[in-house]
């Protein structure tokens, strides 16, 4: 097989409310942390262990606005996307890296905000939204 695949599927809980930034050209980008948990029992002690992994999630344009409107800290969401590592310069001039999940599909699994809004015409909570705005490198930071 000569091709490659960069696809991520996660189910987790928002670690914070969505932070959204609007651009002059009308586009927008939203960012939020997503927590996924792995639970197991220590065979030696019988202690139940939970390991939490944090993911930096990025949604764009209409998807960002929908997520901002309906999701808040603690809500559960299913996302599909791809892993992207961004390189940037810190104030001290050192190179820094940030690994993100760029979302292209999502489904709300539960929300704390008014759930009747989710069933209103035009918003199908099981819909997939195309959030592509071009390559992430094309976006201002």
pLDDT (tens, 9 = 90+) of the chain, 141 residues, equals 679 999 999 999 999 999 999 999 889 999 999 999 999 999 999 999 999 999 999 999 999 999 999 999 999 999 999 999 999 899 999 999 999 999 999 999 987 765 544 443 333 334 444 433 333 333 333
For residue 109, the surrounding DSSP H or E stretch is: strand 95-110
Per the listing, tokens 């651009």 go with 23
CB 29 within 8 A of CB 58: yes
Q: Whole-prediction pTM value?
A: 0.74
What distances in angstroms separate CA 57 from CA 18, 41, 117, one per listed residue? Answer: 10, 29, 24
Reported CATH class of domain 8-138 = mainly beta
Both tokens of residue 76? 């559960």
SS3 136: helix
SS3 59: strand
Per the listing, tokens 């960012």 go with 31
Query: In angstroms, how far is CA 65 from the centroid of its own chain?
Result: 13
Please report the pLDDT score of residue 59 as a whole number. 97
């Amino acid at each position: 097989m000569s091709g490659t695949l960069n696809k991520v599927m996660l189910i987790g809980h928002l670690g914070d409310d969505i932070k959204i930034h609007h651009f002059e050209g009308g586009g927008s980008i939203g960012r939020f942390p997503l927590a996924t948990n792995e639970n197991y029992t220590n065979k030696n002690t019988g202690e139940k262990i939970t390991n939490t992994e944090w993911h930096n999630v990025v949604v764009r344009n209409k998807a960002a606005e929908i997520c901002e409107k309906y999701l808040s800290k603690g809500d559960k969401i299913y996302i599909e996307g791809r892993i992207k590592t961004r390189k940037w310069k810190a104030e001290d001039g050192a190179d820094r890296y940030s690994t993100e999940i760029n979302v292209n599909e999502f489904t709300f699994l539960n929300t704390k905000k008014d759930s009747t809004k989710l069933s209103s015409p035009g918003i199908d909570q099981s819909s997939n939204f195309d959030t592509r705005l071009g390559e992430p490198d094309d976006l201002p930071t």
